[in-house]
Amino acid sequence: MTVRYGMVGGGAGAFIGEVHRMAAALDGGYQLVAGAFSSNPSKSKVAGQELGLDPSRVYDSYQEMAESEYGLTEEDRIEVVSIVTPNHLHHAVARTFLKAGVHVICDKPLTTTVEDAEDLCDLAVKHSRLFAVTHSYTGYPIVKEARERVRGGELGEIRKVVVEYSQGWLSTLLEAEGHKQAEWRTDPDRAGISLALGDIGSHAHNLVRYVTGLEVQRLFADLGTVVDGRKLEDDATVLLELEGGVRGLLSASQISTGERNNLRLRIYGSNGGLDWSQEDPNRLRLIEADGSERVLHRAAGATSERARAHTRLPSGHPEGFIEAFANIYRNVARSLRSDGVAHPFADDFPTVQDGAHGVHFIHKALESHHQGGWVDASYAPPGV
């Protein structure tokens, strides 16, 4: 039985909305039945028509959508809302649908303030709703393999973590040229207090937490606005102290000219290390203490049960970004549609609490940058 879902945002010209729709459709577990796709009612209607929706369930606003859907029978109304708006709307939209009893899948960062993030944590618990945040890179099977090996102790005592996320698409003042995606991401009123850390650094931070299971205890951030005329930081370097005194380095840059989507994670322990790159996502480089190395492939016989459970294609057939994204959607659907059947790792998706961790990290990095020193970054969101 498919999960009925609606979408807020994701109209014409929106990159991530179409990604969400492809991810939801990949395994046949969802049916898009409603939406408020734009703050412009006419644009929302056009988007709904292009998606083949019933015009009566294409709404002028998310408030109208929540109220109207709540008035439908339980067999007809949406069960999940997918939120793919600019950052400043995440809290208000998610809050509205949680109060209407709807489960939530929200793009990152979760909110623009820690207070709003914690409010959503409280509401999700109060209304007993599932709430997933699409930190999609945790969906890659080989990332899940890295998690199993690190947490299983294969690398020994973890000593050093390096995560880099480099892009070059904002190496010029693209927002001044009418580029829709650049316009809102560089606008403090819509993006929040951060550009590079909010847009991509939050992914890097979440990836470290997911694979290692270690939380940031202290951090020292240096943030820079390299492109003249830009209002938010476009380059960030953050020194991390993780639990147990593990040293870390996080770099997030959107002005690294020529880079596409270069997310890379390296973890070093007392017995060895590993190295994963998002642009070559089906391979995990394992490093031995003597300097020798071997490469593990996705869907290879040596991968863990967790990795295999999130793999769709035979070895040698590349799986990529959409499949990783779809793993989040599939696990949410399986959690909602268990029907007494236990699906391994159905709870393996980023939660609202994970999203709150990301918002807290962004704010602590800004605090450190303004103070010019180390700050306490320990955190426990509501509902953990």
* CATH superfamily to which 140-312+352-370 belongs: Dihydrodipicolinate Reductase; domain 2 (3.30.360.10)
What's the pLDDT at 82?
98
Whole-structure pTM value: 0.97
Residue 339 has pLDDT above 70, yes or no: no
What's the pLDDT at 289?
95
Predicted confidence band of residue 300 (pLDDT cuts 50, 70, 90) = confident
Residues forming beta bridges with residue 3, ordered by sequence position: 30
Distance CA 197, CA 360 (A): 11
Predicted confidence band of residue 341 (pLDDT cuts 50, 70, 90) = low
Predicted confidence band of residue 322 (pLDDT cuts 50, 70, 90) = very high
pLDDT digits (tens, 9 = 90+) for 89-104: 999 999 999 999 999 9
Predicted confidence band of residue 255 (pLDDT cuts 50, 70, 90) = very high
What's the pLDDT at 224?
98
Sketch the domain layout of the chain as residue ranges. 3-136, 140-312+352-370
Residue 178 has pLDDT above 90, yes or no: yes
CA distances from 158 to 148, 245, 248, 266 (A): 14, 9, 10, 11
Averaged pLDDT, 130-145: 98
What radius of gyration, in Å, describes the C-alpha atoms of the chain?
Answer: 20
Of 224, 193, 217, give the one whose Cα is nearest residue 208.
217
Bigger pLDDT: 341 vs 58: 58
3-state secondary structure the chain: CCEEEEEEECCCCCHHHHHHHHHHHHCCCEEEEEEECCCCHHHHHHHHHHCCCCHHHECCCHHHHHHHHHCCCCCCCCCEEEEECCHHHHHHHHHHHHHCCCEEEECCCCCCCHHHHHHHHHHHHHCCCCEEECCHHHHCHHHHHHHHHHHCCCCCCEEEEEEEEECCCCCCCHHHHCCHHHHHHCCHHHHCCCCHHHHHHHHHHHHHHHHHCCCEEEEEEEEECCCCCCCCCCEEEEEEEEHHHCEEEEEEECCCCCCCCEEEEEEEECCEEEEEECCCCCEEEEEECCCCEEEEECCCCCCCHHHHHCCCCCCCCCCCHHHHHHHHHHHHHHHHCCCCCCCCCCCCCCEHHHHHHHHHHHHHHHHHHHHCCCEECCCCCCCC
Predicted confidence band of residue 301 (pLDDT cuts 50, 70, 90) = confident
What's the pLDDT at 326?
98
| Mean pLDDT, all residues of the chain | 96
Handedness of CA 223, 227, 91, 134 (dihedral sign): negative
What's the pLDDT at 171?
98
What's the pLDDT at 340?
58
Architecture of the domain defined by 3-136:
3-Layer(aba) Sandwich (3.40)
Averaged pLDDT, 279-296: 97
Share of the chain above pLDDT 70, in %: 99
Residue 129 has pLDDT above 70, yes or no: yes
Environment class of 43 (CB within 10 Å of its CB; exposed 0-12, middle 13-18, buried 19+): middle
What's the pLDDT at 181?
94
pLDDT digits (tens, 9 = 90+) for 98-121: 999 999 999 999 999 999 999 999
Environment class of 345 (CB within 10 Å of its CB; exposed 0-12, middle 13-18, buried 19+): middle
Predicted confidence band of residue 47 (pLDDT cuts 50, 70, 90) = very high
